[in-house]
Every structure is written in C-alpha cells, then in structure tokens.
Amino acid sequence: MTLEPCISTTAVEPPLPIGWFSIARSHELECGAVLPVHAFERDLVLYRSESGLAVVHDAYCPHLGAHLGHGGTVAGESIRCPFHGFRFGTDGNCVEIPYCDEIPERTRLRTWPVCEVNGCVMVWYHPEEAAPGWPVPVIEEFQSDAWTEPRLWEFTAPTHVHNLAENTCDPQHFHYVHQQPETPPSTVTIAEDGRVMQLVSNAQPSSNIPEAADLVATVYNPGLATVRTRFSPGAEMLMYNTSQPVSRKETLSRWALTVTNEIEDTVGDAAMQGIMDGIDDDMKIWRHKIHRDKPAFCKGDSDLVTFRKWVRQFYL
Ligand code: FES
Ligand SMILES: [Fe+2]
C-alpha cells in the first residue's frame, strides 16, 4: 500500500465558478454612494448613479492607478477619479479629462454585468468575461403579503464558495456535524436544461431546523440558492442565500429568511438562530478542510456524486 504524500493546503482550491454573486445589499447603496469591494480576488468599485443605477468597475484608474472606491465621487451618470479628475461613464469609457480635450482610447475601466434582484446587488462572474448566461431568479415570497419582512444575516466563511453549495447536497454530514438523529431519505434532481439542481428531503430536527419538515433546496449556481421548508400546510419558511466569493479561501454569505405570517412568532427568530448555530458547526469543518478533486466516494454518497457532475459546468 502506498500512502499519499502530504498535500499542500493552498494548491488544490478550484477556480472561482461562473455565475451570479452578490456584492452588497441594495439598501446599503444610496444614490451617489461609492463603495470599495473586494470580490473574485480583485478590487472593485461599486457606486449608485444619480438616476439610481448600480455600477461596478475594476477599482484602479487606467491613468495613474488610483482606487476609485476610496475618494471617487459620483457625477450624474459617471464616477470621477479622486486623483486627477478623469470621469468615467457607466459603460467604463472615459468621458472627460478636465485638463485635456483629447481622451486616449485605452482610457477605459472594465465594467461588470450587474442586476438588482431580491434586495441584493448581483454581479455576473465569468473568468473570460462572457455575457450572463441566465437571469437571477425572482423570489416571489419576498413580494407577498402572506410572508414576513425578510430577516437579514451574513457571515464570512473561511472557505471556497464551492463548499457552501456542496454542503447542501451532503445529507450524511447532518448527523455528524449538526446532530441530526438520523439521515432522512433525499433525492437530487437536475432541472432546466441541466443548470438548476434541486434536493428534496424530509428533514428531522437538528441544529439547522427546529422541527420535522419537508425541505426543498434549489441551487441556481454555486453561491445562489433557496431552501424552502414546509412544517405543515401554511407554515413555511424560505431561506435565500447569495454569496460573495472574496477569494478561493473566503466567502461572504448573505442570507434573507422569511416565514409565513402565521408562524412568525413561533418560528421566525428560532429558525434564524438555528441556522446561525448550524453554520457555526460547518465552520469548524470548513476552516481546516482541503478540496478533494477526486474524493474517495462510497455508494452512500450518490447526492454528492450528482453534485460534482452538475457543478462541473460552472468551471471552464
Ligand atoms: S489616477 Fe485617476 S485620474 Fe489620474
Ligand atoms: Fe452543514
């Protein structure tokens, strides 16, 4: 028998996946506000124009490299660099150099595809800058009077965004990590031309969920998912999760939780607390694990195997 050589903990992380990722909540970005953002292992600048458009560019000015997120100012539908006053339109083209009539052609900022859906500013990431391949799903529960105002929560996980998604399709870990008494049967299916993955399960009480429930987790791309939980008819909970891959080793995860009005008092805060405690359990694993490109899967890991086949499409 040969033993595997000691593995480097930094060399094995997968690249960042293709998809839609959040970089802020919409309410955090007022008209005229400029924010520095670190995502996708890059420095970005996010601002809201006077007309209300959320705009994301690479952070560094093509002139002398000032960071537009630190001192840049909004001027109508453009952002002005704090260093020499170059002004860039929402498409990234330089529209004004205050002390020169001629604008050199390469005076441009990379502009990222952005949309605002479900209360978050979402950015499309593709390593080769291809255009968005699908829309962000609109979550109807957030518009409905039958559901409560969403409770918001976020945390930074010391792990790749891949692992947050993989966790959803890992029914076995609920027993060992989240103290769920036994592993409920679950089915993973792939829908919408292979792009959306869904896990249906009968969850037992655990550190994540306060009581038995039917659970449907839907993953649109790694880092963009909903989990719908139905305790009894009319008593339902929705968790919406978007992620900001800060780097291959760090992910900021944004959550919004809403419940049907009738269980607001009994489930709302308890569910939120349960999820927070559950994530704490996951953190202990994430903080120290490595990525296995070829895991030693066993027969009982069929959901994870399906996940690994599905997730390949998000990597080039
Ligand atoms: S560095 Fe931005 S205008 Fe000079
Ligand atoms: Fe977990």
Q: What is the pLDDT of residues 43-68, one digit of tens each?
A: 999 999 999 999 999 999 999 999 99
Residues 291 and 214 in one domain: yes
Residues 168 and 121 in one domain: no
CA-closest residue to ligand 1 atom 1: 64
CA 51 to mean position of chain CA atoms: 26
Nearest ligand for residue 280 CA:
2
- For residue 63 and ligand 1, the question of a CB distance below 6 A is answered with yes
Residues 146 and 293 in one domain: yes
**pLDDT tens digits, 200-246:** 988 666 655 566 678 899 999 999 999 999 988 888 999 999 999 99
Query: How far is Cα 257 from Cα 149, in angstroms, rounded to an integer?
Result: 8
Residues 85 and 181 in one domain: no
Could you say which of 125, 154, 170 is where a domain stops? Answer: 125
Identity of the residue numbered 6: C
User: Could you tell me the distance, in angstroms and rounded to a whole number, from the CA of residue 42 to the centre of ligand 2?
Assistant: 28
The answer to whether residue 247 is domain-embedded is: yes
The answer to whether residue 5 is domain-embedded is: no
- For residue 100 and ligand 1, the question of a CB distance below 6 A is answered with no
Question: What number is the average pLDDT over the span 121-147?
Answer: 97
Identify the residue with better confidence: 109 or 268. 109
- For residue 64 and ligand 1, the question of a CB distance below 6 A is answered with yes
Query: How far is Cα 125 from Cα 129, in angstroms, rounded to an integer?
Result: 7
Which atom of ligand 1 is nearest the CA belonging to 97?
3
The answer to whether residue 230 is domain-embedded is: yes
Pairing outcome for strands 19-25 and 54-58: unpaired
- For residue 151 and ligand 1, the question of a CB distance below 6 A is answered with no
Residues 166 and 293 in one domain: yes
- The reported pLDDT for the residue numbered 205 is 64
- The reported pLDDT for the residue numbered 182 is 81
- The reported pLDDT for the residue numbered 8 is 55
Nearest ligand for residue 68 CA:
1
- The reported pLDDT for the residue numbered 180 is 83
The answer to whether residue 52 is domain-embedded is: yes
Which atom of ligand 1 is nearest the CA belonging to 84?
3
- The reported pLDDT for the residue numbered 231 is 85
Residues, CB-to-ion distance under 5 Å, ligand 2: 167, 282
Q: Residues of the chain with pLDDT > 70: what percent?
A: 93
Sequence-distant (6+) residues with CB within 8 A of 191 are 197, 198
Instruction: Report the domain count for the chain.
Output: 2
Please give the angle made by the CA atoms of 111, 116 and 120, to the nearest 5 degrees: 105
Which own/partner contact pairs does 177-182 have at CB distance under 8 Å and 24+ positions apart? 177/281, 177/282, 177/284, 177/285, 178/206, 178/207, 178/208, 178/278, 178/281, 179/206, 179/207, 180/204, 180/205, 180/206, 180/207, 180/208, 181/205, 181/206
Query: Is the predicted pLDDT of residue 292 greater than 70, yes or no?
Result: yes
Residues 104 and 239 in one domain: no
- For residue 67 and ligand 1, the question of a CB distance below 6 A is answered with no
- The reported pLDDT for the residue numbered 4 is 53
User: Could you tell me the distance, in angstroms and rounded to a whole number, from the CA of residue 24 to the centre of ligand 1?
Assistant: 26
Residues 145 and 278 in one domain: yes
**pLDDT tens digits, 70-124:** 999 999 999 999 999 999 999 999 999 999 999 999 999 999 999 999 999 999 9
The answer to whether residue 29 is domain-embedded is: yes
Q: Residues of the chain with pLDDT > 90: what percent?
A: 77
The answer to whether residue 87 is domain-embedded is: yes
- For residue 59 and ligand 1, the question of a CB distance below 6 A is answered with no
The answer to whether residue 4 is domain-embedded is: no
Residues 230 and 149 in one domain: yes
pTM of model > 0.85: yes
- The reported pLDDT for the residue numbered 141 is 96
Could you say which of 101, 125, 149 is where a domain stops? Answer: 125
Which own/partner contact pairs does 233-238 have at CB distance under 8 Å and 24+ positions apart? 234/260, 234/262, 235/259, 235/260, 235/262, 235/263, 235/267, 236/260, 236/263, 237/213, 237/263, 237/267, 237/271, 238/139, 238/141, 238/147
- For residue 86 and ligand 1, the question of a CB distance below 6 A is answered with yes
CA-closest residue to ligand 1 atom 3: 84
The answer to whether residue 257 is domain-embedded is: yes
The enclosing domain of 204 has a CATH number of 3.90.380.10
- For residue 84 and ligand 1, the question of a CB distance below 6 A is answered with yes
- For residue 61 and ligand 1, the question of a CB distance below 6 A is answered with yes
Q: What is the total residue count of the chain? A: 316
Nearest ligand for residue 60 CA:
1
For residue 218, the enclosing domain spans 140-314
152's tokens: 């918001």
Nearest ligand for residue 83 CA:
1
